[in-house]
Amino acid sequence: MSLLYKNVKQLVFDIDIFIDTVEQGVLVFKEGVINYLNGEKASFADKIERINRLEASADKLQRKIDDEFYRHSILPQNASDIEGMLDKVDEIIDIAKDNLYQFDDELPFIPKELINDYIRLVDTSAESALSVFPAARSFFRDPLKVKEMLAKVYFYEKEADKISRSIKRRLFHEMKDLHLSQKIHLRYFALHIETVSDKAESLADLLSILALKMSI
């Protein structure tokens, strides 16, 4: 077995762990938002701690992967593209962590009538991200399969957009008892949750382009 093959195999293994870590972060984000919406303070605090640890682990893994690329000159013709893709994977856990902290810092009041809508939104936004990770893993093994694996990412991103827009319309058209400042605050949190699916869509777009380049 050549040294280059060993290095590539180790690199792909480390990338898998990196993606697994970000995927766990998305699940923790989803659970954390639901904990907040259900008033489960202890569980929500636990999710804040867990996403902190996962985000720190993801950053450490990404630095290790970057070092492997340059120290061993692995796939030099594709290194910048792959690193750009990994940056977009990392953005997903970064925004998920930031979103949980927004809930922790600002303590938004969510009316009972909207709780199920926000749960649907976080479920759908997270599902978009969870759907992109298998394609990211496949990119290193069978790039030709990547494009066909991205349909769910776009589907859930569009659904998240619809749910977010529905929440905003309910806020400003139906909920007469809320002050304008409360409506703006709640719209802000709908947009925050939706950004996770936006980041997933951005990663899917890049994966589609890079997979095509790798297959030529």
Average pLDDT over residues 161-166: 97
Average pLDDT over residues 17-25: 97
Q: How far apart are the C-alpha atoms of 26 and 127, rounded to whole Å?
A: 9
Q: What is the pLDDT of residue 2?
A: 43
Query: How much of the chain exceeds pLDDT 70, in percent?
Result: 92
Query: Which of the 8 DSSP states describes residue 85?
Result: H
Q: How far apart are the C-alpha atoms of 145 and 193, rounded to whole Å?
A: 29
* CA distances to 88, 101, 153, 198, 206 from 156, in Å: 18, 24, 5, 10, 17
Question: For residue 3, which of 72, 66, 79, 68 has the smallest C-alpha distance?
Answer: 72
Q: What is the pLDDT of residue 140?
A: 80
CB 186 within 8 A of CB 114: yes
Q: What is the dihedral of CA 123, 50, 62, 127, to 10 degrees?
A: -10
Q: At residue 141, does pLDDT exceed 70? A: yes
Q: What is the pLDDT of residues 38-84, one digit of tens each?
A: 999 999 999 999 999 999 999 999 999 888 777 755 555 666 788 89
Q: Mean pLDDT, the chain, as a whole number?
A: 91
Average pLDDT over residues 132-138: 94
CA atoms within 13 A on the CB side of 22: 32
For the chain, the domain total comes to 1
Q: What is the pLDDT of residue 4?
A: 42
Q: How far apart are the C-alpha atoms of 48 and 68, rounded to whole Å?
A: 30
Q: Which residue segment(s) compose the domain that 130 sits in?
A: 3-215
Q: At residue 85, does pLDDT exceed 50? A: yes
- The pair phi, psi for residue 108, each rounded to 5°, is -65, 140
Q: At residue 152, does pLDDT exceed 60? A: yes
Q: What is the CATH number of the domain that holds 35?
A: 1.20.58.220
- For residues 156 and 14, the model is more confident at 156
Q: What is the pLDDT of residues 89-111, one digit of tens each?
A: 999 999 999 999 999 999 999 99
